Amino acid sequence: MRGLEQWRRLLESDVRTGRIGLARARLAVERAEQVAALLSGERDRRDAHERERRREGEMPDFTRERLNVLLERAIVRARGKVADVQAAAFDASERLREAWRRETVVDRLLARRRERETAERLARDQREHDELASLRHYSGVLADAESGSGGRRQNAAQGGDDR
CA atoms of 3 and 10, how far apart (whole Å): 11
Question: What are the residue ranges in the chain where pLDDT is below 70?
Answer: 1, 148-163
Query: What is the sign, positive or negative, of the torsion defined by CA atoms of 7, 12, 13, 17?
Result: positive
Amino acid at 25: A
pLDDT of residue 130: 86
CA atoms of 28 and 85, how far apart (whole Å): 6
Q: Where are the alpha helices (DSSP H) in the chain?
A: 2-55, 62-147
pLDDT of residue 95: 92
Q: For the domain 2-116, what is the CATH code?
A: 1.10.287.1700
Q: Are 43 and 72 in contact (CB under 8 A)?
A: yes
pTM, rounded to two decimals: 0.62
For residue 148, what are the CA distances in angstroms to 137, 138, 153? 17, 15, 10
pLDDT of residue 62: 86
pLDDT of residue 142: 74
pLDDT of residue 117: 94
Transcribe 72-83 into DSSP letters.
HHHHHHHHHHHH
118-123-128 Cα angle (round to 5): 125
pLDDT of residue 59: 83
Question: 66-83 pLDDT, tens per residue?
Answer: 998 999 999 999 999 999
With CA atoms as reference, report the closest residue to 58 among 50, 67, 48. Answer: 50
